[in-house]
Amino acid sequence: MLIGLTGKNGSGKGEVANFLMSSGYQFFSLSDVVRDEVRSRGLGVTRENLIVTANEMRAGLGAGVLAEKVLQKIGPDAHAVIDSIRNPFEVEALRRRKGFYLISIEADPKTRFERTKARNRENDPKTYDEFLALEAREAHTNDPTTQQLNRTAGMADAVIENSGTVDELKEQVRQVITALAADTERPGWDDYFMEIAKVVALRSNCIKRKVAAVVVLDKRIISTGSNGTPRGVKNCSEGGCPRCNHFGPSGDKLEQCLCSHAEENAIVQAAYHGVSIKGATIYSTYSPCLICTKMIINSGLAEVVYSRSYSIEETPLKLLNEAGVKVRQLEEKK
């Protein structure tokens, strides 16, 4: 899960972030991106410089730039809390990542002002009127690239009213996170194994196309394979396969190709280690060629699940159907 925090000055975002960090969440802040930029410009890290620099970055690099830079630092399997979200475009950028939820932390202005006085930061407003004036400036403007706290809060998936004690705040956070976690979508088994196959494809040494296959039995991976030249032979990407390096038409002169295909390697690897694949399912990033199709049938594989269509798939798919091997194509994820 990625938990985004938005809220006005003194609302308690930092307290929520610290609580989630103590629970094991990684911490990221859009403000840290701005601080780094402020320092690179040789400026002092003041509230005014942070606001001006952030607005300039949004205007010059896109309104969602701060969120995009933070997302580059967060792994796909991370539980993280992201602080200082102040613009609707930042929310939109973060929502492109599955499992992101925005929480708005709110409290009445007088309570928030007293909190800012208590923390006694050098650049915080000293009077209530100054506090309200700064808040009005941050809450809404006609420029979509500036801070838009009101509109951002309106996009929240949940709202936490923080006018009580710290313990009450933590209990609200527990309840909200629990409810959001129950709504978090886990990948189905097909998506899970196909995404693993896409990672396996990164090991391919073929210069033309990276393909991978994963053999699964009882929801357990028992063999993997990617396309490339045989063990001990110069890698295709280093010139090991003349046919691939000639860059001829896809599917043409396969009999001259020195590369083993992904499905072929997955089946052979299982045989090499003495692992039976009878009745298993093979997940492949592309539909199989004719040679791999015959290996699939004769090895006893029961099902083929593929993502993209290969240019010469018509005959292989007919043969698989005739042999009673189930075939499914997954809709490719955007």
What is the DSSP track for 75-113?
-TT--EEEE---SHHHHHHHTTSTTEEEEEEE--HHHHH
Residues paired with residue 80 on neighbouring β-strands, in sequence order: 2, 26
CA distance 239 to 234: 7
Q: Considering the candidates 37, 90, 106, 263, report the single residue annotated as catalytic.
A: 263
Helix, strand or coil, per DSSP, at residue 328: strand
Contact 314, 256 (CB under 8 A): no
CA distance 207 to 243: 10
Q: Write out the two tokens for 151.
A: 């509109």
Other residues' Cβ atoms within 10 Å of the Cβ of residue 278: 9
Q: What are phi and psi of 329, to 5 degrees?
A: -110, 130
- Kindly tell me the number of DSSP H helices and DSSP E strands found in the chain: 14, 10
Residue 206 burial (10 A CB sphere; 0-12, 13-18, 19+)? buried
168 tagged catalytic: no
Could you tell me whether strands 100-106 and 212-217 are parallel, antiparallel, or unpaired per DSSP bridges?
A: unpaired
C-alpha pair distances (Å), 165 with each of 119, 159, 168, 179: 16, 16, 5, 22
Question: Which residues are known catalytic residues?
Answer: 263
